[in-house]
Amino acid sequence: MTVRPIRIFGDPVLRTEADPVTAFDARLRELVADLEDTVRVPGRAGVAAPQIGVSLRVFSYNVAGQVGHLVNPVLSDFEGEQDDEEGCLSLPGLAYPTKRFMSVTARGFDAYGEPLVIHGTGFLARALQHETDHLDGTLYIDTLTGDARRQALRELRRVSPAPGR
Protein backbone atom coordinates (compact mmCIF):
# COMPACT_ATOMS: atom_id res chain seq x y z
CA MET A 1 0.00 0.00 0.00
CA THR A 2 1.43 3.38 -1.04
CA VAL A 3 -0.19 6.43 0.48
CA ARG A 4 1.42 9.43 -1.19
CA PRO A 5 1.86 12.83 0.52
CA ILE A 6 -0.56 15.57 -0.50
CA ARG A 7 0.79 18.77 -2.08
CA ILE A 8 -0.35 21.88 -0.24
CA PHE A 9 -1.55 25.27 -1.54
CA GLY A 10 1.40 27.19 -2.94
CA ASP A 11 2.83 24.20 -4.84
CA PRO A 12 2.82 25.18 -8.54
CA VAL A 13 1.60 21.73 -9.68
CA LEU A 14 -1.80 22.59 -8.15
CA ARG A 15 -2.16 25.59 -10.48
CA THR A 16 -1.00 23.87 -13.68
CA GLU A 17 -3.33 22.19 -16.16
CA ALA A 18 -2.55 18.46 -16.09
CA ASP A 19 -1.47 16.61 -19.24
CA PRO A 20 -3.79 14.07 -20.86
CA VAL A 21 -2.87 10.44 -20.30
CA THR A 22 -1.64 8.91 -23.57
CA ALA A 23 -0.17 5.59 -22.36
CA PHE A 24 -2.35 3.07 -20.55
CA ASP A 25 0.56 1.07 -19.22
CA ALA A 26 1.98 -0.36 -15.99
CA ARG A 27 3.16 3.10 -14.86
CA LEU A 28 -0.39 4.45 -15.14
CA ARG A 29 -1.78 1.45 -13.25
CA GLU A 30 0.80 2.05 -10.51
CA LEU A 31 -0.27 5.72 -10.31
CA VAL A 32 -3.93 4.69 -10.11
CA ALA A 33 -3.13 2.20 -7.33
CA ASP A 34 -1.27 4.94 -5.41
CA LEU A 35 -4.20 7.36 -5.89
CA GLU A 36 -6.69 4.76 -4.66
CA ASP A 37 -4.50 3.88 -1.65
CA THR A 38 -4.15 7.59 -0.88
CA VAL A 39 -7.89 8.27 -1.10
CA ARG A 40 -8.69 5.34 1.23
CA VAL A 41 -7.27 7.28 4.20
CA PRO A 42 -10.31 8.01 6.41
CA GLY A 43 -11.93 11.38 5.76
CA ARG A 44 -10.86 11.61 2.13
CA ALA A 45 -13.37 11.81 -0.74
CA GLY A 46 -11.03 12.38 -3.68
CA VAL A 47 -7.43 12.81 -4.74
CA ALA A 48 -6.27 14.11 -8.10
CA ALA A 49 -2.87 13.21 -9.52
CA PRO A 50 -1.57 16.82 -9.25
CA GLN A 51 -2.25 16.64 -5.51
CA ILE A 52 0.43 13.95 -5.26
CA GLY A 53 2.76 15.84 -7.60
CA VAL A 54 1.90 14.11 -10.89
CA SER A 55 0.65 16.37 -13.67
CA LEU A 56 -1.62 13.84 -15.41
CA ARG A 57 -5.41 13.87 -15.90
CA VAL A 58 -6.29 11.13 -13.40
CA PHE A 59 -8.16 11.15 -10.10
CA SER A 60 -9.51 8.72 -7.54
CA TYR A 61 -12.62 9.04 -5.41
CA ASN A 62 -13.99 7.43 -2.25
CA VAL A 63 -17.67 8.20 -1.81
CA ALA A 64 -20.09 6.12 0.28
CA GLY A 65 -17.55 3.29 0.47
CA GLN A 66 -17.09 3.17 -3.31
CA VAL A 67 -13.48 3.68 -4.39
CA GLY A 68 -12.79 4.29 -8.05
CA HIS A 69 -10.78 6.30 -10.53
CA LEU A 70 -11.16 8.09 -13.83
CA VAL A 71 -8.55 8.87 -16.48
CA ASN A 72 -8.94 11.85 -18.85
CA PRO A 73 -12.36 12.84 -17.46
CA VAL A 74 -14.84 14.99 -19.35
CA LEU A 75 -17.93 16.25 -17.51
CA SER A 76 -21.36 16.72 -19.09
CA ASP A 77 -25.11 16.50 -18.41
CA PHE A 78 -25.04 19.11 -15.65
CA GLU A 79 -28.31 19.44 -13.72
CA GLY A 80 -29.56 21.23 -10.65
CA GLU A 81 -27.54 23.03 -8.04
CA GLN A 82 -26.17 22.35 -4.58
CA ASP A 83 -24.47 24.81 -2.24
CA ASP A 84 -22.78 22.84 0.51
CA GLU A 85 -19.59 23.20 2.47
CA GLU A 86 -16.53 22.03 0.57
CA GLY A 87 -12.95 21.48 1.66
CA CYS A 88 -9.75 20.27 0.03
CA LEU A 89 -6.80 18.19 1.17
CA SER A 90 -4.49 20.76 -0.44
CA LEU A 91 -6.10 23.55 1.64
CA PRO A 92 -6.14 21.86 5.06
CA GLY A 93 -8.47 23.24 7.68
CA LEU A 94 -10.49 25.41 5.29
CA ALA A 95 -14.08 24.76 4.20
CA TYR A 96 -16.58 27.10 2.55
CA PRO A 97 -20.02 26.84 0.96
CA THR A 98 -19.36 26.12 -2.71
CA LYS A 99 -21.89 25.95 -5.53
CA ARG A 100 -21.77 22.81 -7.64
CA PHE A 101 -24.15 21.02 -9.97
CA MET A 102 -26.37 18.49 -8.21
CA SER A 103 -25.96 15.92 -10.99
CA VAL A 104 -23.17 15.32 -13.51
CA THR A 105 -21.90 12.64 -15.86
CA ALA A 106 -18.15 11.98 -16.03
CA ARG A 107 -16.79 10.14 -19.05
CA GLY A 108 -13.24 8.88 -19.37
CA PHE A 109 -11.28 5.67 -19.10
CA ASP A 110 -10.12 3.15 -16.54
CA ALA A 111 -6.45 2.32 -15.97
CA TYR A 112 -6.52 -0.16 -18.87
CA GLY A 113 -7.96 2.29 -21.41
CA GLU A 114 -11.50 0.90 -21.27
CA PRO A 115 -14.28 3.53 -21.53
CA LEU A 116 -15.87 4.42 -18.21
CA VAL A 117 -18.98 6.47 -17.46
CA ILE A 118 -19.87 7.63 -13.94
CA HIS A 119 -23.22 9.27 -13.23
CA GLY A 120 -23.00 11.21 -10.00
CA THR A 121 -25.58 12.99 -7.89
CA GLY A 122 -25.19 14.83 -4.60
CA PHE A 123 -21.84 14.28 -2.93
CA LEU A 124 -20.47 12.08 -5.74
CA ALA A 125 -21.30 14.82 -8.27
CA ARG A 126 -19.49 17.33 -6.04
CA ALA A 127 -16.42 15.07 -5.81
CA LEU A 128 -16.31 14.49 -9.58
CA GLN A 129 -16.46 18.25 -10.23
CA HIS A 130 -13.91 19.07 -7.51
CA GLU A 131 -11.36 16.51 -8.74
CA THR A 132 -11.81 17.46 -12.40
CA ASP A 133 -11.19 21.09 -11.41
CA HIS A 134 -7.84 20.00 -9.91
CA LEU A 135 -6.86 18.59 -13.32
CA ASP A 136 -7.50 22.05 -14.81
CA GLY A 137 -5.36 23.79 -12.17
CA THR A 138 -8.43 25.16 -10.40
CA LEU A 139 -9.06 25.06 -6.64
CA TYR A 140 -12.53 25.31 -5.13
CA ILE A 141 -11.65 28.67 -3.57
CA ASP A 142 -11.37 30.04 -7.12
CA THR A 143 -15.12 29.57 -7.53
CA LEU A 144 -16.06 31.48 -4.37
CA THR A 145 -17.50 34.97 -4.62
CA GLY A 146 -18.24 37.90 -2.35
CA ASP A 147 -17.67 37.62 1.39
CA ALA A 148 -16.87 33.91 1.22
CA ARG A 149 -14.02 34.57 -1.23
CA ARG A 150 -12.65 37.47 0.83
CA GLN A 151 -12.78 35.37 3.99
CA ALA A 152 -11.09 32.39 2.28
CA LEU A 153 -8.28 34.55 0.90
CA ARG A 154 -7.73 36.18 4.32
CA GLU A 155 -7.57 32.75 5.93
CA LEU A 156 -5.13 31.48 3.27
CA ARG A 157 -2.81 34.43 3.90
CA ARG A 158 -3.00 33.69 7.63
CA VAL A 159 -2.18 29.96 7.39
CA SER A 160 0.15 29.91 4.37
CA PRO A 161 3.77 30.75 5.00
CA ALA A 162 5.15 33.64 2.98
CA PRO A 163 7.69 32.68 0.31
CA GLY A 164 11.17 32.29 1.73
CA ARG A 165 10.04 31.29 5.23
Output the known binding site. 88, 130, 134
Output the known binding site for Fe cation. 88, 130, 134
Kindly report whether the global pTM for this prediction surpasses the value 0.75. yes
Residues 37-58 have pLDDT tens digits of 999 999 999 999 999 999 999 9
CATH superfamily label, 12-159: Peptide deformylase (3.90.45.10)
Mean pLDDT of 22-36: 98
Catalytic residues: 131
Extents of the domains making up the chain: 12-159
3-state secondary structure labels for all residues of the chain:
CCCCCCCCCCCHHHHCCCECCCCCCHHHHHHHHHHHHHHCCCCCCEEEHHHHCCCECEEEEEECCEEEEEEEEEEEEEECCEEEEEECCCCCCCEEEEEECCEEEEEEECCCCCEEEEEEEHHHHHHHHHHHHHHCCCCHHHHCCHHHHHHHHHHHHHHCCCCCC
